[in-house]
Amino acid sequence: MLGTGLIKGMAQTAKNFVGSYQGPERLVTVQYPEERLAPKENARNFPFLVFDGDDAQKGLRCVACQICEKECPPKCIYINKSKDKKPDYIGKPQFYPATFDIDISVCMSCQICVEVCPFDAIKMDKVFELSTTDRFEALLLHKTELAKPNEYFQELHPTEAAEIDTRFAEEKLKAEAKAKADAEAKAKAAAIAAAPKPEPAPVDGSIPTPVAPKTI
């Protein structure tokens, strides 16, 4: 029948139109801010810094290598390297950022800083309600504001955080095993060096006559 396809198409359009007001799977609009949708695990907005433990300064994973600063397309990351070092999660002395600032008014949320970081120190946050009347200082986030605990990262991106924690734990065990083996080898070498050495045999092959101790 002529026009059957047109009628079926219009019927499907009408069905979708009505369903967008009644079907739960089609009601995608929420009454924000009273209603909020949970963000996806891979959602991202602006970066933050991850630290381990309870101290944000001692446990900060960032070693101020400045790769993220160099690779950032809009150049919104500003890092000053420290003069001294602190031990990282495996006890190796590392530099740390004396200052670490991100201008989120310039940040384009590209995630390149996350991808190039070799220490998994910088990750993407999901916070987006950052509107402010101050266009300058309020949008320049400093190290103290950027630092978030590893538990926070686990809540945002549980899959990725679990993989990183597993890798870190394996690397720490390997480092501890290596340090233990090195200490044992060093102690063994010191014991050998401290042991008395036998007197060398004469060149002619004769056995040296022992000398009696002198009596006073």
The residues, any chain, with a CB within 8 Å of residue 135's CB and separated by 6 or more, are 105
Helix (H, G, I), strand (E, B) or coil at 202: coil
Kindly report the pTM of this predicted structure.
0.72
Return the CATH number of the domain spanning residue range 47-149: 3.30.70.3270
**pLDDT score at 20:** 77
For 155, list phi and psi in degrees, rounded to 5: -70, -40
140-172 as b/e: b if 16+ CB within 10 A: bbebeebbbbbebbbebbeebbeebeeebeeee
CB-based contact 77:141 (threshold 8 Å): no
**pLDDT score at 77:** 96
Token couple for 202: 């004469």
**pLDDT score at 204:** 61
Whole-number Å distance between alpha carbons of 124 and 43: 8
**pLDDT score at 206:** 60
Helix (H, G, I), strand (E, B) or coil at 69: helix
**pLDDT score at 4:** 86
Whole-number Å distance between alpha carbons of 111 and 89: 24
Query: Closest Cα to residue 151, out of 41, 38, 52, 47?
Result: 52
**pLDDT score at 215:** 61
Token couple for 77: 């990351």
**pLDDT score at 200:** 66
pLDDT in tens, the chain (216 residues): 677 888 899 999 998 888 777 777 777 778 888 888 888 888 889 999 999 988 888 889 999 999 999 999 999 999 999 999 888 777 788 899 999 999 999 999 999 999 999 999 999 999 888 888 887 888 999 999 999 999 999 999 999 999 999 999 998 899 889 989 988 898 888 888 887 777 666 666 566 666 566 665
Q: Where are the domains of the chain?
A: 47-149
Whole-number Å distance between alpha carbons of 45 and 157: 13
Whole-number Å distance between alpha carbons of 76 and 132: 18
